[in-house]
Structure 1
Amino acid sequence: MTSAPPVRDLPDLLLHDLEGFTHRWVDADGVRLHAVEGGRPDGPVVVLLAGFPQTWWAWRGVMTRLAGRCRVIALDLPGQGHSERPEGSYDTHTVAARVDAAVRALDVSDYWLAGHDVGAWVAFSLALGFADRLHGVALLDAGIPGITLPDAVPTDPDRAWKTWHFAFHLVPDLPEVLLAGREREYVGWFLEAKSHSPGTFDDAELDHYAAAVAAEGGLRASLAYYRHAAESARRNHEALDRRHVRVPVLGISSSHGSIPDMAASLRPWADDVTGVVVPDAGHFIPDEQPDAVAAALARFVLGG
């Protein structure tokens, strides 16, 4: 295994431990990425990617439920959690190459991949560029640039609150001015407003995710995924002009999420798409319904 030293420049960001899992830092094309690994060593490998404004910790409930049957690896994306916050492009094909390099550094030759929100953006691009490494990819409630992201932000108040931030994050400089020092309020709005069940996130979780965004380079990196979304969309379609997604795709939607039917939105771009809708959940499906998500992933990976 190619390893890298832990990131030491985030002293105020709590490093959560999860029973049965180990923290790793690996070199991914020159960028240090944080991975949390555990489960059954000889089981199929499942790699999990979280989205905005979260970290790997969003998957903890799913991780423990899959650990008895799978080798589970949750990664912090570049700029997220305890991973490095590099300068340069955050288009999802560049990030996907780094994610796959991190998985290689963990001595994994082939794997299943699941991503939520921005993690699903990266997972979709990775499925286009690294199909020979993947058995399948699960994509959870995500407006993927150029794919499932609507062409325009809706103006109907009943829908606009779900996607308004895509435009806001693109504005140069203004988000930084308005959000610096207010990360707790901003992150808290997303986690509370987009969860179907009140109280899904406690104060400690809100504090953790806000601290990850507030840590040096965190806000810049979080916004960069959105600011490079047009390049992500361009590169997605450049790849799709050559071939569709060839690996099996599972679209996971929720009863009160942002994208009503992930599977239907993905079928024009992939050859083998199935879908599931998780009841009683908003956007943050892994946190709100970890049993249902783990069960859906287990069926996808293990069959039955």
Structure 2
Amino acid sequence: MNDDATASNRSCDQNPVPGLPLYDLAGFTHRWIDAEGIRLHAVEGGRPAGPTVVLLAGFPQTWWAWRKVMPGLAERFHVIAIDLPGQGHSERPRGSYDTHTVASRVQAALDAINVPKYWLVAHDIGAWVAFSLALKYEERLHGVALLDAGIPGVTLPDSIPTDPERAWKTWHFAFHLVPELPETLLTGREREYVGWFLKAKTLSPNTFDGAEIDHYAAAIAAEGGLSASLAYYRDAAESARKNHDALERGHLTVPVLGISSSHGSIPDMAASIGPWAENVTGAFIPEAGHFIPDEQPDATVDALTAFIDHQPVE
């Protein structure tokens, strides 16, 4: 693990996943927030009086996906990284994991800690949630940055390619939809599964060390984390339907930054989102695969800072 983070088994009465080691990041504190009756884990630091930047990670990661980005952002911003429902040290509720339901819970958490308006930055499934959140709560956002993600019902293809040169990037979408089979095959083998994603979808297969793979695998294996992770995919059709309904009422007007990488899943995030948003810009990160914040953290901080600085002060 990174030297500035230490593993601990600190007890917290609010922590719904106490058996999972909790990693610290210098200058940041852990908290658990009630969000529509479930507890979400957040890691908070930076400049309390600065603009707030909220970070959402995707599959198969946790808030720890942002550990290399958070210190750089904290120099100027109030930074909050949130574990989504079912992710990391957040509660794993039963019920819907469609992105509009999850977005409501994320917004409820931010309401609970009195964050009136913020910049939203999200990767992978986190970006699914962020897009839906922007549709539902646009007035709460200064802007939203989406990193390498196909959005259900918007930019995510309805069919999965069978060409071997492309299929390896998206084959798991169909696999995760199958009832019970993924749980049967993956329970007890979470580390092998998680390790494949972290190695196959990075430009350098050495981006993640063994301890990091252990951390993410343990989070998915703990307390129903696997079923919760799969639920985002199983509810993707409902997410798509709700996105369609919202977009029929109007497109996004909040500033959107689409961040792509040289070896990621979506060649041009800005172009893919452009038809659905009125104010879209793009940023391109070289020498990176899908896991951009891990692979090029400094470039990620620079792109986000430039995006925020470019927007007019409200």
TM-score tier (shorter): over 0.9
Q: Residue 180 of structure 2 is aligned with which of 149, 152, 173?
A: 173
- Is residue 257 of structure 1 aligned with residue 264 of structure 2? yes
Q: Which runs of structure 2 are paired with 1:132-281 in the superposition (5 Å)?
A: 132-281=139-288
Residues 96-131 of structure 1 show CA distances to partners (whole Å, capped at 9, x for unaligned) of 000011111122100000110000000000000000
The residue number in structure 2 matching 1:7 is: 15
- Give the Å deviation of 1:79: 0.1
Correspondence for 2:8: none
Give CA-to-partner distance per residue, 1:3-50, whole Å, 9 cap, x none: x95215431x21110011010100001010000000011110000000
Q: Which runs of 5+ in 2 are unaligned?
A: 1-11
User: Which one of the candidate residues 51, 64, 85 is aligned to 1:57?
Assistant: 64
The 1:109/1:5 distance shift into structure 2, 3 A limit, reads farther
Aligned residues: 300
Query: Aligned with 1:125: secondary structure?
Result: helix
Gaps of 5+ in 1: none
TM-score, with normalisation over the residues of structure 2?
0.94
Shift of 1:59: 0.3
**Equivalent pair of 1:255/1:277 in contact (CA under 8 Å):** yes
Which residue, out of 38, 46, 52, partners 1:45?
52
Please name the residue that 2:134 is paired with.
127
Query: Does structure 2 conserve the Cα–Cα contact (< 8 Å) formed by 1:48 and 1:59?
Result: yes
Q: Is the 8 A contact 1:10 1:215 kept in 2?
A: no
Structure 1 partner of 2:292:
285
1:198 Cα deviation from its structure 2 partner: 2.4
Which one-letter code corresponds to 1:7 in the other structure?
N
TM-score normalised per structure 1: 0.97
Instruction: State the 4+ residue runs in structure 1 displaced beyond 3 angstroms.
Output: none
Matched, 1:110 2:117: yes
Contact 1:250 1:274 in 2 (8 A): yes
State how far apart, in whole Å, the 1-side matches of 2:264 and 2:32 are.
Answer: 33
Partner of 1:80: 87
Provide the identity percentage. 74
Q: Kindly state the Cα deviation for residue 188 of structure 1 after the two structures are TM-superposed.
A: 0.2
In structure 1, what is the equivalent of residue 33 of structure 2? Answer: 26
Cα distance in 1 between the residues matched to 2:23 and 2:302: 24
CA RMSD of aligned residues (A): 1.1
Instruction: Measure how far apart 1:302 and its partner are.
Output: 2.4
